[in-house]
Amino acid sequence: MSEPLPDGMSAEVADLAGRLFDLARAGAPELLSYVDAGAPVDLTNGSGDTLVMLAAYHGHPLLVRGLVERGADADRANLRGQVPLAGAVFKGEHEVVHALVEAGADPDAGTPTAREAATMFAPELLDLLPPSAPDRGA
């Protein structure tokens, strides 16, 4: 038996959303056509992963750039507090890290942050991250 759909969601809409997430994972440029036609650029799956999170984690810098150019939130965390930049750092995706940093992604957002992920898993990526912002809480 399949999982019940959220209130008001038809099977067709759920199927389309699933295809969009698959396109993001695959780095398929046609995903951008769906966004241009009105699909939400910050569409999230049941784990809170956005299209840009999936594209970043699976190593698709051109798609990441296209999504952020269309307004995707490069710092939107999933339900586990993870953000696209930290995911790209964890996976060692240099070009994706560069694309997200160019788009203004915060290296200190999320849990763990991209800076923490780089320290633990990919120290060579620390140089791609901008310096920490000065502490404004004091």
Check which CATH number belongs to the domain holding 80 and give it.
Answer: 1.25.40.20
The distance of Cα 8 from the centroid of its chain, to the nearest Å, equals: 26
- Give the helix/strand (H/E) hosting 28: none
With cut-offs at 50, 70 and 90, classify the pLDDT of residue 85.
very high
CA distance 83 to 49: 9
DSSP assignment of 55-73, as one string? HHHTT-HHHHHHHHHTT--
With cut-offs at 50, 70 and 90, classify the pLDDT of residue 54.
very high
Please report whether residue 109 resides in a domain: yes
pLDDT at 136 over 50: no
Number of domains in the chain: 1
Percentage of residues in the chain having pLDDT higher than 70: 89
Q: What is the pLDDT of residue 137?
A: 45
With cut-offs at 50, 70 and 90, classify the pLDDT of residue 33.
very high
Domain that holds residue 25: 11-128
Is 132 within 8 Å of 108 (Cβ atoms)?
A: yes
Q: What is the mean pLDDT of residues 15-39?
A: 96
Q: What is the mean pLDDT of residues 16-30?
A: 96
Is 43 within 8 Å of 20 (Cβ atoms)?
A: yes
Please report whether residue 68 resides in a domain: yes
Please report whether residue 135 resides in a domain: no
Q: Is the dihedral of CA 24, 108, 117, 45 positive or negative?
A: negative
pLDDT at 95 over 80: yes
Q: What is the pLDDT of residue 135?
A: 56
